[in-house]
Amino acid sequence: MKSVLGYETVDFDREHHALVIVDQTKLPGELAFLSLRSPQEIWDAIYHLKVRGAPAIGVAAAFGLAAIGWQIAADSPADFMMQLSRHREYLCSARPTAVNLGWALNRVYGACENLLSRKLDQAEGMPEMEKVQRLREGLLQEAKRMKEEDIDICKRIGEHGLDLLKPGDGILTHCNAGQLATCRYGTATAPIYLGQERGYGFHVYVDETRPLMQGARLTAYELQAAGVDATLLCDNMAASLMAQEKVQAVLVGCDRVAANGDVANKIGTSMLAITAWHHQIPFYVCAPLSTIDWNTATGKEIEIEERPPEEVTQMWYRQPMCPPGVKVYNPAFDVTSYLLIDGYITELGVFSTLEEIPGCYLQSDKR
């Protein structure tokens, strides 16, 4: 039987015009797949974390909009685009913090706009319904390109990240930035998987990542399937582990990078970065360039999603583990200051500041 790594995290069923995802809420107990066609189904899957991880969310949203395109009843390209725009805005509202969601939806929608203005508007004699069908195909083809690009980007992130590590290193990671968060390889796990293939013998320490347990349920599950030597720990045990000099590097993914280099990632990341800084352990953020939001100046401007209190009080318990009616603070993400980040591992290489990235026109006062 194939492990989870042998399946596609995000895919498109051409026969049924449906987005197909691994239902990550069922892992590790059950490997289940969802076939989604309606806007509500796709929105729910993103909001309820059935698909999660910035790159995977982006590709899933692109395929989702393509699936919706086949459900739209339109008698002209203009009508099709108007309805498609409404669905794009609706899907974008599912998760406000992950920049890849809006980026992906705008990209596939923009591909349709370009197709319409550059080719279809000049196609004299082509029936209106055929133009609508061409727009549907254009949506799908752009989403497929995004998936292939994501696989290539993650592989390159892995290669650049591996250059920073040594055989036998202890690596600490938080949340799940693995294959389940992307289309293949992952971001923070990409160097780990490539190292595993090449005999580096890493020992990976996995934060369980409360309250949704993405590290325990997903990262530990992935790494075990790949044969990686992995140890699970509660989030508040990281400092103890670092004090014993068992960790040589921290690798995390992210959901959004502000223009100054501040990073929004799963709650608990900033605490981990502070602890790594205290113990003089390099802290690296593994992120595709699409995760950088050049229009958001600093992390203070990033909208942080607040999740339902039930995720803390009862989701993982057979009986309540807190007094009835207690107030709950449950942000999905926190912001890690650029001052705590030793490097951004991207598909173009490793950069200590964002202005080092080719084509970046910004200046930073870092250090």
Handedness of CA 316, 308, 219, 246 (dihedral sign): negative
Q: Which pLDDT score is estimated for 298?
A: 97
Report the CATH number at residue 281: 3.40.50.10470
What does 2-14 look like in DSSP terms, one character per residue? --GGGS-SEEEET
Q: Is residue 275 part of a domain?
A: yes
Last residue of a domain, one of 106, 137, 155: 155
Residues 204 and 231 in one domain: yes
Beta strands in 275-342 (DSSP E): 283-286, 292-293, 333-336
**165 in Cβ contact with 249 (< 8 Å):** yes
Q: Is residue 51 part of a domain?
A: yes
Residues 319 and 218 in one domain: yes
Q: Is residue 111 part of a domain?
A: yes
Residues 201 and 346 in one domain: yes
Q: Is residue 48 part of a domain?
A: yes
Residues 191 and 293 in one domain: yes
Q: Is residue 363 part of a domain?
A: no
Report the CATH number at residue 13: 1.20.120.420
In Å, what is the CA distance from 64 to each residue of 20, 59, 146, 178, 362? Answer: 9, 8, 13, 21, 34
| pLDDT tens for each residue of 109-148 | 999 999 998 877 677 778 989 999 999 999 999 999 999 9
Q: Which pLDDT score is estimated for 367?
A: 29
Last residue of a domain, one of 124, 155, 186: 155
Residues 121 and 169 in one domain: no
Domain holding 120, by residue range, is 4-155
pLDDT along the chain (367 residues), means of 10: 85 97 95 97 96 94 97 94 97 88 95 88 81 95 97 97 98 97 96 97 97 96 96 98 98 96 98 98 96 94 94 88 93 97 98 89 41
Q: Is residue 120 part of a domain?
A: yes
Concerning whether 255 is annotated as a catalytic residue, the answer is yes
Residues 175 and 309 in one domain: yes
Q: Which of 255, 262, 293, 334 is catalytic?
A: 255
Q: Is residue 307 part of a domain?
A: yes
Q: Which pLDDT score is estimated for 4?
A: 83
Last residue of a domain, one of 155, 189, 222: 155
Residues 181 and 105 in one domain: no
Q: What is the pTM of this model?
A: 0.91
Tally of structural domains, the chain? 2
Q: Is 124 left (phi over 0), alpha (psi -120 to 50) or beta?
A: beta
Q: Which pLDDT score is estimated for 1?
A: 57
Residues 110 and 200 in one domain: no
Residues 194 and 298 in one domain: yes
Residues 182 and 125 in one domain: no
Residues 146 and 180 in one domain: no
Look up residue 91 and give its amino acid: L
Give dist(CA 189, CA 44) in Å, integer. 27
Strands 170-173 and 203-207: parallel
Q: Is 106 left (phi over 0), alpha (psi -120 to 50) or beta?
A: alpha
Give dist(CA 258, CA 199) in Å, integer. 36
Q: Is residue 361 part of a domain?
A: no
Residues 125 and 172 in one domain: no
SS3 95: coil
**Residue with the two structure tokens 């909009």:** 65
Q: Is 209 left (phi over 0), alpha (psi -120 to 50) or beta?
A: left
